Amino acid sequence: MGTQPPHKEVPQDEEDEDTKSNVFCNVYDILPRVNAIMRCFDSDWGIYHTGVQVHGLEFAYGGHPDSGTGVFCARPRSAKGARFREQVPVGYAELDSLELRQAVAEISKQWPGDMYDPFKRNCNHFSDFLCRELTGQGAPPYINRFTTSSLVRGVFYRCLVPLGRCLERFYEPPSITYSDDIGVAGEDGTAGDELGITGVRGINQVLLEAATMQKAKANKLFGEKAYSAAKSSYWKALGYLDAMSRRTEEDAEACRQVEAVRRALLLNLAACDLKSESYEEAVGRCREVLALDPGNAKALYRRGVALSHLGAYQEALADLRGLLQGTEGGALDAATQRDVRREVERVRGLVEDERERDRAMARRMLGAS
């Protein structure tokens, strides 16, 4: 391409006017002195880090060893260890804050940390992808010119790979936090508050909130008896949880929140399976819940119902009687106890019917002999 665009930064007051929908690409010099030397030979060249700013947050991408997302979010124009260079307006996103959560959550699943490559799939590739998804326009082309250069890929590739690996480690997604005394957009933080991300939250919080919203949508579909559509939405919500970065597993409270949502989604999937008579799948979902929470009453009840429909009557009765006796699942409310008792009586009736059929068959066999 031609010469690099001149240094440009949108004034803060101008940015805040429309920060809910304007999309910017924030460009940083990773190695300012090296970049200055490179630009003596070609004004387009440089080693850059970029992030995409929308709704008062900056989304970027980095590498790490696990399969969780490499996408992270931070306060705009504050990438750690890099010098902010310019802010380039990209376009306009027709998304409100709730829609942005869903969009970023979906995109995050496509960018796991262990697929990072400093030359083929780096932060600048992500920025270009996200800009196109949000606006239809790409990021400034010059940001990745260095890594896509045939000269770099050919003659100097072996020398630059160690540098790329170093940058990969340097820009791995941290456990992103925001200090309590700064906003994530401008000085007052209002735009970030609208997105629901303040304090010590990051991309995992975006994914968790997206999963929660998807769960609410699925619950509504379930209430409308659209069980197949509800099941698809529950699976989509689980996909958001699976995409979460594992780099913050030391946060015990966050882990508890995630596991609570995961249990609820698995239980709701089991309920859908019961409605659609997919009993083996229902048993599988309940077993997953019981692996996380061995005394979960809903899982025991739904597994008991599913097992009874599969003809495993004794196993079903073991789950259901355990609930009534209080040995599993803890105390039950009166309504749930009535449901369990009715199910126990139904299964007992099935057992008695089966015994009667066996006795009748035995009588016929004896009569024939």
Domain boundaries, the chain: 21-177, 202-359
pLDDT of residue 7: 46
* Tokens (6 digits) for 221: 């579909």
254 — pLDDT class (breaks 50, 70, 90): confident
Architecture per CATH, domain 21-177, reads as Alpha-Beta Complex (3.90)
58-78 pLDDT tens trace: 999 988 777 788 888 888 988
* Tokens (6 digits) for 233: 């939405």
pLDDT of residue 159: 53
* Tokens (6 digits) for 41: 């030979």
CATH of domain 202-359: 1.25.40.10
87-98 pLDDT tens trace: 999 999 988 877
- The DSSP call for residue 94 is -
**What are the residues facing 94 on neighbouring strands?**
none
Q: pTM, whole model, 2 decimals?
A: 0.67
- Backbone angles phi and psi of 167, in degrees to 5: -65, -35
153-207 pLDDT tens trace: 554 545 555 555 555 444 444 433 323 322 333 333 333 333 333 323 478 888 8
C-alpha distances in angstroms, 78 versus 102, 178, 195, 232?
A: 24, 11, 19, 38
- The whole-number average pLDDT for the span 89-118 is 88
